[in-house]
Amino acid sequence: MLQNILSWVWIASGLLLVVSVLLHSPKGDGMGGLASSGGSMFSSARSAEDTLNRITWTLLSLFLGLAVVLSAGWLK
């Protein structure tokens, strides 16, 4: 029972981790920097980026912690 619940939480944290990584703003110009002139097209608030970083690191630690617990077989 507990293993099934933690498995679902592990899957959900993995999916949310993918979404949170994709929500991050690009750090460099990349290929778009070749065509654009001047400053960056994207301007984001620093606090929003910090909050997104905290969410991403929390989800990562939850995902890795649950991966260790579920793969070690401690719940049987």
What DSSP assignment string belongs to 25-63? PPSS-TTHHHH--SS-S----HHHHHHHHHHHHHHHHHH
Determine the pLDDT at residue 28: 67
Quick one: average pLDDT of 42-55?
Answer: 80
39 found inside a domain: no
Determine the pLDDT at residue 41: 46
Determine the pLDDT at residue 37: 52
Q: Which of 23, 21, 13 is nearest to 56 (CA)?
A: 21
33 found inside a domain: no
DSSP 26: P
Q: Which domain holds residue 13?
A: 1-22+46-76
Task: Count structural domains, the chain.
Answer: 1
15 found inside a domain: yes
8 found inside a domain: yes
67 found inside a domain: yes
Q: Which residue has the tokens 């905290």?
A: 54
Is the Cβ–Cβ distance between 63 and 17 less than 8 Å? yes
Residues 27 and 52: their CA atoms lie apart, in Å, by: 14
Determine the pLDDT at residue 43: 53
35 found inside a domain: no
Q: Which of 27, 20, 13, 21 is nearest to 61 (CA)?
A: 13
32 found inside a domain: no
